[in-house]
């Protein structure tokens, strides 16, 4: 039997390379990003120099890479992956993230990571969902980059849902929430998340990793709320 060709997630036309998930025409038609600060990932005047916000009060991580804003079609894809269990999206989303990282890498904004760490879910939330969506992204990314990935972080306590809190409440909610369960001394780490809004979660984890001797921490996400 002949295998049916995989269709583009947007235009539904057959794909020449099935694992890409999106055709080259639709890829070129995705919403463009404005210039983003290479450190915090927010709109700025340059994609090579840290913005004024970061020069005054930098985040704990050294660089941030995102695919796009939390807008259509990216927000729909993230929600379909997380809440509708359409896990077939994972390879296409991982590829978009890889392409975004390659653009930053070619600009000299980020080093090549030797370890990928997914942001963890609390055990109960992971059980309710059935999976951790960032873990689904880690395996193909590590394979393409030729690096390691581990679930080396755990969440000690569940806490309130982050999207229900303001920025100050988010920081308080996350204090002491994470545990590192592996050695990271001297490692260049890419921390994977799906959506970053205030950055409180990845900031807390980045501080933990750097305190344990990580050489650098860069944050990779599918969507950065701009």
Edge-to-edge strand order for the sheet containing 148-149? 63-68, 216-224, 188-196, 115-118, 148-149
Instruction: Look at 158 and 77; give whichever has higher pLDDT.
Output: 77
The pTM for the full model equals 0.90
For residue range 58-73, list pLDDT tens digits in order. Answer: 999 999 999 999 999 9
Given pLDDT bands bounded at 50, 70 and 90, which one contains residue 156? confident
Query: Which of the 8 DSSP states describes residue 43?
Result: B
Half-sphere exposure of 214 toward its Cβ, with a 13 Å CA cutoff?
Answer: 25
Give percent above pLDDT 70 in the chain: 90
pLDDT of residue 8: 95
Strand partners, 66: 221
- Answer whether residue 159 shows pLDDT above 60: no
Of 4, 142, 26, 128, the closest CA to residue 77 belongs to 26
Distance CA 105, CA 123 (A): 34
- Which two tokens mark 47? 């994609």
Summary mean pLDDT of the chain: 91
- Answer whether residue 54 shows pLDDT above 50: yes
Q: Could you tell me the sign of the dihedral formed by the alpha carbons of 97, 224, 202, 181, in that order?
A: negative
- Which two tokens mark 175? 């204090």
Given pLDDT bands bounded at 50, 70 and 90, which one contains residue 3? very low
pLDDT of residue 158: 60
Distance CA 93, CA 194 (A): 10
């Amino acid at each position: 039997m002949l295998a049916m060709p995989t269709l583009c997630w947007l235009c539904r036309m057959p794909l020449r390379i099935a694992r890409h998930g999106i055709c080259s025409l639709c890829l070129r038609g995705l919403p463009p990003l404005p210039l983003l600060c290479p450190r915090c990932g927010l709109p700025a005047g340059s994609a090579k120099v840290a913005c004024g916000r970061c020069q005054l009060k930098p985040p704990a991580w050294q660089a941030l890479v995102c695919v796009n804003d939390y807008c259509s079609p990216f927000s729909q894809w993230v929600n379909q992956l997380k809440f509708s269990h359409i896990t077939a999206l994972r390879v296409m989303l991982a590829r978009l993230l890889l392409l975004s990282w390659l653009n930053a890498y070619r600009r000299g904004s980020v080093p090549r990571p030797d370890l990928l760490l997914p942001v963890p879910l609390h055990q109960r939330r992971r059980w309710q969902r059935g999976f951790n969506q960032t873990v689904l992204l880690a395996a193909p990314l590590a394979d393409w980059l030729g690096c390691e990935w581990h679930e080396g972080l755990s969440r000690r306590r569940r806490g309130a849902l982050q999207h229900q809190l303001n920025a100050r409440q988010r920081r308080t909610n996350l204090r002491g929430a994470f545990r590192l369960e592996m050695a990271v001394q001297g490692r260049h780490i890419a921390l994977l998340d799906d959506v970053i809004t205030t950055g409180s979660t990845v900031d807390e984890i980045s501080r933990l990793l750097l305190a344990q001797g990580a050489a650098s921490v860069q944050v990779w996400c599918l969507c950065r709320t701009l």
